[in-house]
């Protein structure tokens, strides 16, 4: 089985075990794909495109500068590093861990450095000037009337400068430094060459524009953020860019006094809005995003790769197989592959503002620092997994790290909250074993951390676990009023039903027609059957195990009789004529034995007490002058209805003498006649037991 198929099978097994498994079933948390590893974060550990963890060389500070800001740099033709600073603006050569001051640059800040055959070009803002440094001299070769220069690039054989405000491109050619074209935003912020197209990231509206060598401009992206701060081209021709919320800026002047007007041919021009107004920034889990990494495919599709809620991403570079992103306000380097990323390293700086080459050099501020990749010094890296949150507490078993690597260490920690906080347990001691028992008690969340030796690789981390089996939960056991039963479909005889054959599972005849309940009612449709009581219950298992039920009936004096065992249904109508009159309740036992053999748990719940009455009322009819006096009494149940009829005429309701028909003994009166009539009195108690008595009128 190849790796991709193996990953698919493992992922499917994990999903199935989580959705269909029982508490007793062993499950596995497996990390062996880029998608899974990218949920964690590393320090000196990279996530590879084929789903592994590799310890890599990190960065170390080689030079710290006195200036507060270092934001621009580039490699000179001799391989040395040239960097520019701000406040004040100075130009340095960094070599051998030492900084050599090349020139004090007039202006507030050096914004771009570009090495050419004719020397090193240096751009500034306040004022916007282009300088050439060559043979120890700094020479001004171009100056803007307004605004500053933000970036430099070589496109179509010429040096192009991004400027603003207003946003414009300038070109350095045989006739000197000249304005090439105006752009519809406040600043042209950064440049990147992709084939025969010059990409321009803007500030104000946060656009990515494409400029063809013919001078034709196209809109490639309109970001919800205000600034595209940096871009990088990957080997496949796609372009990665970081967008953030820049400083508020005003619109550039529009031709003919308009913004978003029409040109002479009637075609709509690109509209530019004030960047500081009405920002509808995207959300991530309810929080406003601070910055975003996007990818522009060679076909022109724009994909949002990652949105940051805390970090401000300001620099990006292609390292050969992945994308490096520099962030602040805690200096971090993130690395992205496919459609996800993880922290790669953190540095002692507030913000990473530039990534040079394939990540060989970092420029940072707070303090102004130049960092370079460490050589293979044997320093190990660390990778911390995501904090896995489980629906129910887990008991942890064996762990496995593959392949086994000398010097590799692993540790664990647990907690009750979704994300690690002060309530979490401390990390366990480091273990040098590639396999062993996870040394933590049962918990609802787990996190692991690896220390990977220099040059080593980890392909898979696996942790076995099983849910702690919790007892079933029975929220209610309900008993319906006497005679009520529920069916999915009406019986052939109408609303009054009778069993077609006697029951052979004990003394109780039952109706447990749960298999075809109507969709609009979990109970079914209501019908009536004298002598029956319907009991129903609501139960669930915290582990989603299948539940079975035992039902028994208990008399008030403690005698118990089984009704049914191993019931799958949650409702049953029971023929209580099998019981002597008295007070009873139902006892329900729910267990999860079907999926937890040998370790089943059960819960017992009871219904309310209810009356079983299978004895009809008694009727006494006595003459009382011009009326018949009727006394109806019942030993157990209140009288529900009393009717009378003379000589087979229709039934007439009798009203209780006290005005309320609610007792076990009630008196009634009905008119008395003479002449040889037959008077019939019929009474029914609350359990629908009936009795009839007749008297003759002489």
User: Which pair of tokens denotes residue 107?
Assistant: 């202006």
* Residue found by looking up tokens 């009494």 in the block: 633
User: Which pair of tokens denotes residue 454?
Assistant: 């220099």
Residues of the chain with pLDDT below 70 are 1-24, 246-289, 376-378, 491-508, 512-522
**How distant is the alpha carbon of residue 505 from its chain centre?**
50
Question: Phi/psi of residue 242, each to 5°?
Answer: -110, 135
Q: What is the 3-state secondary structure (H, E, C) of 71-84?
A: EEEEECCCCCEEEE
Hey, what CATH class is 618-697 in?
mainly beta
Nearest to 12 by CA among 27, 1, 22, 23: 27
pLDDT of res. 230: 94
pLDDT of res. 191: 95
> pTM of the entire structure?
0.63
pLDDT of res. 496: 55
Nearest to 150 by CA among 279, 291, 314: 314
On whether the CB atoms of residues 39 and 349 are closer than 8 A, the answer is: no
| Residue 339 neighbours by CB under 8 Å, 6+ apart | 303, 305
CA distance 146 to 389: 56
Domain ranges of the chain: 3-55+381-467, 473-612, 618-697
On whether the CB atoms of residues 78 and 482 are closer than 8 A, the answer is: no
pLDDT of res. 505: 55
Q: Residue 633: helix, strand or coil by DSSP?
A: strand
pLDDT of res. 304: 87
pLDDT of res. 540: 93
Q: Residue 39: helix, strand or coil by DSSP?
A: coil
Cis-peptide into 403, omega within 30 deg:
yes
pLDDT of res. 211: 93
Strand-pair partners of 447: 413
Nearest to 194 by CA among 258, 244, 237, 254: 237
CATH number of 3-55+381-467: 2.60.120
Diameter of the chain measured on Cα atoms: 145
Query: Is 3-55+381-467's fold the same as 618-697's?
Result: no
pLDDT of res. 3: 40
pLDDT of res. 77: 79
The CATH architecture of the domain made up of 473-612 is: Sandwich (2.60)
On whether the CB atoms of residues 1 and 9 are closer than 8 A, the answer is: yes
CA distances from 440 to 23, 411, 663, 670 (A): 19, 10, 65, 82
CA distance 582 to 660: 25
pLDDT of res. 298: 85
| Number of CB atoms found within 10 A of residue 281's CB | 14
The per-residue pLDDT for range 631-646, each reduced to its tens digit, is 999 999 999 999 999 9
On whether the CB atoms of residues 334 and 43 are closer than 8 A, the answer is: no
Cis-peptide into 329, omega within 30 deg:
yes
User: Which pair of tokens denotes residue 126?
Assistant: 């306040």
């Amino acid at each position: 089985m190849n790796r991709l198929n193996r990953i698919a099978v493992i992922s499917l097994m994990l999903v199935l075990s989580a959705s269909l498994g029982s508490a007793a079933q062993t499950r596995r948390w497996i990390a062996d794909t880029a998608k899974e590893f990218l949920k964690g974060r590393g320090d000196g550990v990279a996530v590879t495109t084929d789903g592994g963890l590799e310890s890599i060389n990190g960065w170390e500070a080689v030079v710290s500068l006195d200036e507060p800001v270092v934001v621009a740099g580039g490699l000179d033709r001799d391989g040395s590093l040239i960097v520019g600073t701000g406040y004040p603006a100075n130009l340095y050569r960094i070599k051998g861990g030492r900084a050599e001051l090349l020139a004090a640059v007039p202006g507030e800040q050096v914004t771009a450095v570009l090495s050419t055959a004719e020397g090193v070009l240096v751009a500034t803002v306040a004022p916007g000037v282009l300088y050439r440094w060559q043979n120890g001299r700094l020479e001004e070769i171009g100056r803007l009337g307004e605004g500053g220069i933000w970036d430099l690039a070589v496109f179509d054989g010429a040096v192009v400068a991004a400027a603003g405000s207003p946003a414009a491109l300038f070109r350095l050619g045989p006739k000197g430094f000249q304005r090439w074209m105006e752009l519809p935003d406040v600043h042209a912020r950064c440049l990147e060459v992709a084939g025969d197209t010059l990409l321009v990231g803007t500030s104000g509206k946060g656009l990515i524009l494409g400029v063809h060598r013919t001078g034709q401009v196209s809109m490639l992206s309109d970001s919800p953020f205000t600034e595209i701060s940096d871009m990088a081209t990957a080997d496949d021709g796609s372009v990665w860019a970081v967008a953030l919320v820049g400083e508020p800026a005003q619109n550039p002047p529009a031709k003919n006094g308009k913004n978003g007007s029409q040109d002479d041919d009637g075609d709509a021009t690109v509209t530019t809005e004030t960047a500081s107004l009405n920002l509808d920034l995207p959300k991530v889990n309810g929080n406003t995003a601070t910055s975003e990494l996007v990818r522009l495919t060679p076909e022109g599709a724009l994909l949002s790769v990652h949105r940051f809620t805390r970090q401000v991403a300001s620099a990006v570079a292609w390292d050969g197989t992945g994308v490096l992103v520099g962030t602040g306000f805690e200096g971090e380097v993130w690395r992205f592959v496919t459609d996800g990323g993880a922290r790669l390293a953190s540095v002692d700086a507030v913000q990473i503002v530039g990534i040079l080459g394939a990540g060989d050099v970092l420029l940072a501020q707070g303090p102004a620092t130049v960092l370079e990749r460490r050589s293979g010094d044997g320093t190990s890296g660390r990778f911390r997994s995501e904090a896995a949150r489980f629906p129910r507490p887990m008991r942890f078993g064996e762990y496995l790290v593959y392949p086994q690597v000398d010097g590799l260490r692993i540790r664990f920690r647990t907690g009750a909250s979704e994300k690690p906080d002060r309530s979490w347990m401390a990390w366990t001691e480091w273990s040098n074993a590639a396999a062993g028992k996870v040394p933590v008690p049962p918990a609802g969340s787990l996190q692991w951390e690896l220390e990977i030796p220099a040059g080593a690789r980890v392909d898979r981390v696996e942790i076995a676990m099983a849910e702690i089996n919790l007892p079933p939960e029975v929220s209610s056991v309900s008993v319906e009023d006497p005679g009520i039963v529920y069916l999915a479909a009406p019986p052939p005889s109408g609303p009054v039903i009778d069993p077609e054959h006697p029951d052979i599972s004990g003394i109780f005849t039952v109706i447990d027609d749960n298999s075809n309940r109507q969709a609009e009612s979990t109970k079914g449709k209501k019908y009536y059957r004298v002598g029956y009581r319907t009991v129903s219950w609501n139960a669930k298992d915290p582990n989603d195990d299948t539940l079975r039920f035992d039902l028994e009936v208990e008399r008030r004096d403690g005698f118990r009789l089984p009704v049914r065992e191993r019931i799958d249904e949650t409702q049953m109508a029971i023929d209580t004529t099998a019981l002597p009159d008295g007070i009873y309740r139902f006892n329900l036992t729910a267990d999860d034995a079907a999926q937890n053999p040998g370790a089943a748990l059960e819960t017992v719940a009871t219904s309310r007490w209810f009356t079983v009455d299978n004895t009809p009322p008694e009727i006494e009819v006595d003459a009382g002058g011009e009326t018949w006096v009727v006394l109806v009494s019942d030993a157990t149940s209140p009288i529900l209805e009393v009717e009378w009829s003379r000589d087979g005429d229709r039934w007439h309701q009798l009203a209780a003498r006290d005005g309320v028909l609610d007792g076990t003994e009630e008196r009634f009166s009905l008119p008395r006649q003479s002449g040889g009539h037959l008077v019939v009195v019929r009474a029914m108690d609350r359990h629908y037991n009936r009795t009839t008595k007749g008297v003759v009128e002489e």
